[in-house]
Amino acid sequence: MRLQDYDQDSKTGAIGYMLMGVAIFIVVIILLVLILNDSDNKKSNTVEKKVFKTEADLIQEQVEAEYADKTKTDQLDAAQKDLDDLLSGNQFTSDDLDFWDMYPVDEEESQNIEEEEDNLQDSDTAEEQEDRAVLEEDEVIENDPSFGGKYTLVKRSDNSEEWILVQSYLSKHNYNFEGLSEEDGYYVYYENDKKISKLGVDLSKYQGSVNFSKVKKAGVDFVMLRAGARGYGSGKIIVDSYFDENLIEASNAGLQIGIYFYSQAISKEEAEEEANFVLSQIGTTTITYPIVFDMEEVMGDTSRTESLTKEKRTEIAAAFLNVIKTAGYTPMLYGTKEWLLEKYQLATLTSTDIWLAQYETQPDYPYAFTMWQYTQDGTVPGISGKVDINLCFIDYELK
């Protein structure tokens, strides 16, 4: 029976040792866990501390950078302000930059230098001084639109003015107006000391009866007689009431005769009608001077030709002139400088002689012309009141 009790006790002791081992194992595990947790906490604190320190460093660096940028900006602003003050408020003058003043010159020496410079300038020959003056004058002339004959000034009836280009393809006149002078109250023109001009007047009903013998004796060589006109409102052709008388009396006095017609044609057909009318009025009278197409601006009223274009007006004039030329007479176009340059296409009328009306001391029309009406306020013995006076540069009697 004692053996059986011993065995029970042995079992009880074994179980107790096993439980103690388990408890020890559990304690060891718990200790290991605690140790590990403590280690992780320390590492975490270290990392957090390290991260916090890095952010602080970045903030510090950013503050320092912003401070550096602000300092740099302030420095740039200050430099710019100094530059602005220098350029605007405190500009240097040539005197401020004249470093020659660093070396003072004796007044007597300075005066001697100035006298030497004056003497050097005075030593220029008269020819050199003249050349210098010509150069200075040329600089002024080149600013003039008329320099070189490239432009010509047009003075219009409405008092406006314009410089117009002179066309190179149109023939120019070759008159030298230094040969223009006045004799016995009338203009004459000389070339090579020889008088080549002819004196003339143009007449219509407005001069009334004329004593052509006195006109001839006064030195007049030719007369331009108005054959008629077309009404600028009605469009009807009318005969000049003094034409027949003037034609006969001028011929009897030995004056050379030309004829003009005041046109208000608005078509080629009307222009041809006017030309044929003139031819019908001549009869058997010898006409040595030109037969002229005269279209003008109607002052103070409207006219039937106001709306004509330059092209149409040129076409009308050409139609009249062609009829005259075909009949064996010399055709001519009358006009002021303004009308000739702005109302006609002169390039299509190059074979036509020009009668220029320009009331100046000498004409400045650039292109070729053969007759010049230089005044409308002339006086001639044998003619009552004012009369137009003309200078012809060729003798049509010999042409």
Read off the pLDDT of residues 207-265 as tens digits, 9 standing for 90 and up: 999 999 999 999 999 999 999 999 999 999 999 999 999 999 999 999 999 999 999 99
Is residue 254 within 8 A of residue 289, CB to CB? The reply is no
Asked whether residue 398 is domain-assigned, the answer is no
Confidence of residue 7 (pLDDT cuts 50, 70, 90): very low
CATH number at residue 191: 3.20.20.80
Is residue 363 within 8 A of residue 372, CB to CB? The reply is yes
Please give the average per-residue pLDDT across 3-32, as a whole number: 60
Alpha helices in the chain (DSSP H): 2-84, 94-97, 107-122, 126-141, 212-217, 243-252, 268-282, 310-326, 337-342
Q: Tens of pLDDT along 33-50?
A: 666 665 555 544 444 444
Do 187 and 262 share a domain, yes or no? yes
Angle at 85 between CA 81 and CA 88, to 5 degrees: 130
pLDDT at 152 over 50: yes
pLDDT at 191 over 80: yes
pLDDT at 121 over 70: no
Which residue type is seen at 85?
D
What region does 378 belong to: left with phi over 0, alpha with psi -120 to 50, or beta? beta
Q: Tens of pLDDT along 275-323?
A: 999 999 999 999 999 999 999 999 999 999 999 999 999 999 999 999 9
Asked whether residue 399 is domain-assigned, the answer is no
Do 97 and 119 share a domain, yes or no? no
Do 294 and 244 share a domain, yes or no? yes
Do 185 and 129 share a domain, yes or no? no
Alpha-carbon distance of 222 to 330, in angstroms, equals 15
Tally of domains in the chain: 3
Alpha-carbon distance of 332 to 390, in angstroms, equals 14
Do 78 and 2 share a domain, yes or no? yes
| Of 72-76, 181-185, 202-206, 294-298, minimum mean pLDDT range | 72-76
Asked whether residue 288 is domain-assigned, the answer is yes
The structure tokens 């274009």 sit at 309
Which residue type is seen at 123?
S
pLDDT at 355 over 70: yes
Do 156 and 70 share a domain, yes or no? no
Provide the percentage of residues in the chain whose pLDDT is more than 90: 61
Do 168 and 136 share a domain, yes or no? no
Q: Which domain holds residue 319?
A: 152-392
Alpha-carbon distance of 221 to 210, in angstroms, equals 15
Among residues 143, 160, 194, the one where a domain terminates is 143
Do 182 and 298 share a domain, yes or no? yes
pLDDT at 65 over 90: no
Asked whether residue 397 is domain-assigned, the answer is no
Q: What is the pLDDT of residue 59?
A: 54
Confidence of residue 6 (pLDDT cuts 50, 70, 90): very low
Q: Which of 387, 370, 24 is nearest to 212 (CA)?
A: 387
Cα torsion 30, 31, 36, 39 to 10°: value is: 140
Do 134 and 253 share a domain, yes or no? no
Six-digit token string for 251: 């011929």
Alpha-carbon distance of 188 to 42, in angstroms, equals 130
Distance of CA 253 to the CA centre of its chain: 54
Which residue type is seen at 373?
Q
Among residues 93, 120, 143, the one where a domain terminates is 143
Do 8 and 113 share a domain, yes or no? no
Do 94 and 174 share a domain, yes or no? no
Asked whether residue 82 is domain-assigned, the answer is yes
Asked whether residue 251 is domain-assigned, the answer is yes
Do 368 and 265 share a domain, yes or no? yes
| Of 26-30, 54-58, 184-188, minimum mean pLDDT range | 54-58
